[in-house]
Amino acid sequence: MKLAVAALALMSAASSLAQNTPRTARDYYNELKAANNFNHYKDTFVCFSDDDTPSFAVISRGSDINEEMKEAGAVPDKTVLQARNLLFVETYYEGVSNKTVVYVPVGRDGTDWDIEFNSPIHGRMLYSINWTTGRYRLSVYALDRSKTIPTAQTFGKCELIHPKQ
């Protein structure tokens, strides 16, 4: 009886410790990938912030989606073809998806995309991505304060979800 009580107490303590162990963004990503969550045409890159937040983003350029569809034998429709210059970003926090947000290109280099919003403040988010290194910068602007100085910035690195063999 004492042995059963001791075993139960040990299991309870181990369970409590496991629940209090912080999980990383990569832990949540790996859990979703193991569950075959990233099997869509738009699931090209996963991007992790350099800080310790338990969030990550899954991104794809419209041109990546077109290419993935063609490789799979699907014929992209007119809407998909017209989206070739857009950037699709789906963010996750603690493994839970937010909606996909579509960013429009800034300039012709294919390295910057932005979106402007009016709620909760008038602002702008700008993704700058170096496709050679996978490094990115996400800048957030409160446009009522400044159009040129970001209110916040996040830096990180993107990697392919399904590397080509």
Q: What is the pLDDT of residues 98-134, one digit of tens each?
A: 999 999 999 989 999 999 999 999 999 999 999 999 9
Tell me what pLDDT residue 80 has.
85
Tell me what pLDDT residue 13 has.
45
Tell me what pLDDT residue 1 has.
52
Residue that the structure tokens 């429709």 belong to: 77
Non-local CB neighbours of 117 within 8 Å, separated by 6+ positions: 123, 124, 125
137 beta partners: 128, 155
What is the spatial distance between Cα 135 and Cα 114, in angstroms, rounded to a whole number?
Answer: 17
Tell me what pLDDT residue 5 has.
43
* Length in residues, the chain: 165
pLDDT block averages, 10 residues each, the chain of length 165: 47 49 89 91 94 95 91 87 93 95 94 95 96 96 93 96 82
Tokens encoding 107: 């300039």
Tell me what pLDDT residue 20 has.
57
Tell me what pLDDT residue 10 has.
46
HEC string for the chain: CHHHHHHHHHHHHHHHHHHHCCCCHHHHHHHHHHCCCCCCCCCCEEEEECCCCCEEEEEEEHHHHHHHHHHCCCCCCHHHHHCCCCEEEEEEECCEEEEEEEEEECCCCCCEEEEEECCCCCEEEEEEECCCCCEEEEEEEECCCCCCCCCEEEEEEEEECCCCC
Tokens encoding 100: 């996909």
Q: Domains of the chain (ranges plus CATH)?
A: 24-160 (2.40.128)
